[in-house]
Amino acid sequence: MAQGSDILVLENYIDGKFVSSKKYIDSFNPATGKVYCKLPDSTNDEVDAAVQAAKRAFPIWTAWHVEQRSQFLLKLADMIEARLEEFAQAESKDQGSLEVLGSSGILNFYSFSDMTLRCFAVKFSYLLTFPGKTLAQARSCDIPRAVLNFRFFASAVLHYTMQCTQMEHLHCLNYSIRSPIGVAALIIPWNIPLYLLTWKVAPAIALGNTVVVKPSELTSTTAWMLCKVFQEAGLPPGVVNVVMGRGVGAGAALVSHPDVPLISFTGSTATAQEISCNVALLLKHMSLELGGKNPAIVFDDANLEECVHTSILSSFTNQGELCLCTSRIFVQRGIFDKFLKAFVKGAQEWKPGPPDDPNSNMGALISKEHLSKVCGYVERARAEGARVLCGYSVDPPPSLPEQNRGGYFMNATVIIDVKDSSVMMQDDIFGPLTCVVPFDNEDEVVRRANDVRYGLASVVWSRDVNRVHRMAGLLQTGVVWTNCWLVRDLNLPFGGMKASGLGREGAKDSFEFFTEVKTVIVKH
As a whole number of angstroms, the distance between CA 475 and CA 467 comes to: 12
442 CB-near residues (< 8 Å, 6+ apart):
467, 470, 471
Closest CA to 210 of 14, 501, 503: 14
Catalytic machinery residues: 289, 323
Long-range contacts of 227-234, Cβ-Cβ distance < 8 Å, separation of 24 or more: 227/13, 227/18, 229/76, 229/79, 229/80, 229/83, 230/13, 230/76, 231/13, 231/16, 231/18, 232/79, 233/72, 233/75, 233/76, 233/79
Write the DSSP symbol of residue 120: E
Whether 212 and 47 have beta carbons less than 8 Å apart is answered as yes
Chain centroid to Cα 420, Å, comes to 27
As a whole number of angstroms, the distance between CA 287 and CA 272 comes to: 10
**Beta strands of 142-220 (E only): which ranges?**
164-167, 172-180, 183-187, 210-214
Phi, psi values for residue 473, rounded to 5° = -75, -25
Q: Is 387 exposed, middle or buried (0-12, 13-18, 19+ CB in 10 A)?
A: exposed
Phi, psi values for residue 40, rounded to 5° = -60, 140
Radius of gyration in angstroms for the set of CA atoms belonging to the chain, rounded to a whole number = 23
